[in-house]
């Protein structure tokens, strides 16, 4: 609490007037991080601006339109997800959550307020894409989980173990291309 108070430029007494304990402060930081995670994915999916790889490339697009070409949409979405969520800052948060999730409520809180809501956005999109005939009839929740798993499969463990510190644009591009190729083979419309 002393370090946090110093970084915030307030006294420990002031900090304790907002948070009665370190645990309460930690819970608040987990809630804030989860809300930020959900908001970032929602921004990516629903049309906000997002830097993909650098300040020169900026996109403003309502991505998740089931009437649009699914492979192109998922490629752009995948690049934005990996470019946004696989950063040193996000790694620090993920490690903090994982190390604290021995308390089941911490992991549950982060998932339900952040990643879980993001997965629901993807699930709803895949349900609409299936209904529009863009994908084979499948369980949308499973389709969303498989899409996320394919995006993360090549980079998650090396990133989590600090082997990959950042994902360069060329790696993101290649990983997403391979993920979309496998995804479309599994879920693309019948006959493709």
Q: Is residue 6 part of a domain?
A: no
Higher pLDDT, 155 or 22: 155
Half-sphere CA count of 16, side-chain side, radius 13 A: 6
For the ranges 26-35, 60-69, 126-135, 172-181, the maximum mean pLDDT occurs at 172-181
> How many Cβ atoms are within 10 Å of 116's Cβ, its own excluded?
14
Average pLDDT over residues 16-41: 67
Q: Residue 173 pLDDT > 90, yes or no? A: yes
Q: Domain of 139?
A: 28-187
Average pLDDT over residues 46-61: 38
Q: Is residue 145 part of a domain?
A: yes
Q: Is residue 16 part of a domain?
A: no
Average pLDDT over residues 14-37: 68
pLDDT in tens, 104-163: 777 787 777 777 878 888 888 899 999 999 999 999 999 999 999 999 999 999 988 888
Q: Residue 54 pLDDT > 50, yes or no? A: no
Q: Is residue 22 part of a domain?
A: no
pLDDT in tens, 55-80: 333 332 345 666 778 898 899 889 98
d(CA 126, CA 110): 23
**Domain total in the chain:** 1
For the ranges 36-40, 99-103, 175-179, the maximum mean pLDDT occurs at 175-179
d(CA 64, CA 122): 9
d(CA 184, CA 192): 9
Q: Copy the structure tokens of residue 85.
A: 């969520």
Q: Is residue 45 part of a domain?
A: yes
Q: Is residue 2 part of a domain?
A: no
22-46 helix and 116-131 helix, angle to the nearest 10 degrees:
20
Q: Is residue 5 part of a domain?
A: no
Q: Is residue 107 part of a domain?
A: yes
**Per-residue pLDDT, 171:** 95
Higher pLDDT, 5 or 53: 5
Higher pLDDT, 169 or 87: 169
CATH number, domain at 105?
A: 1.10.357.10
């Amino acid at each position: 609490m002393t370090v946090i108070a110093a970084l915030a430029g307030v006294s420990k007494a002031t900090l304790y007037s907002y948070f009665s304990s370190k645990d309460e402060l930690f819970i608040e930081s987990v809630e804030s991080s989860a809300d930020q995670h959900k908001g970032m994915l929602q921004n990516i999916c629903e049309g906000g601006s997002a830097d993909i790889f650098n300040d020169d490339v900026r996109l403003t697009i309502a991505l998740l339109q089931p009437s649009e070409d699914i492979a192109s949409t998922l490629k752009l979405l995948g690049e934005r997800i990996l470019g946004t969520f696989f950063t040193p800052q996000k790694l620090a948060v993920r490690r903090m959550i994982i190390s604290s999730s021995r308390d089941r409520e911490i992991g549950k809180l982060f998932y339900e307020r952040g990643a879980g809501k993001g997965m629901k956005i993807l699930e709803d999109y895949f349900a609409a894409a299936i209904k529009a005939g863009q994908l084979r009839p499948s369980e949308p929740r499973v389709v969303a989980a498989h899409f996320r798993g394919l995006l993360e499969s090549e980079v998650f463990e090396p990133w989590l173990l600090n082997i990959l510190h950042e994902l360069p644009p060329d790696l993101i591009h290649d990983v997403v291309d391979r993920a979309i190729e496998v995804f479309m083979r599994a879920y693309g419309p019948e006959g493709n």
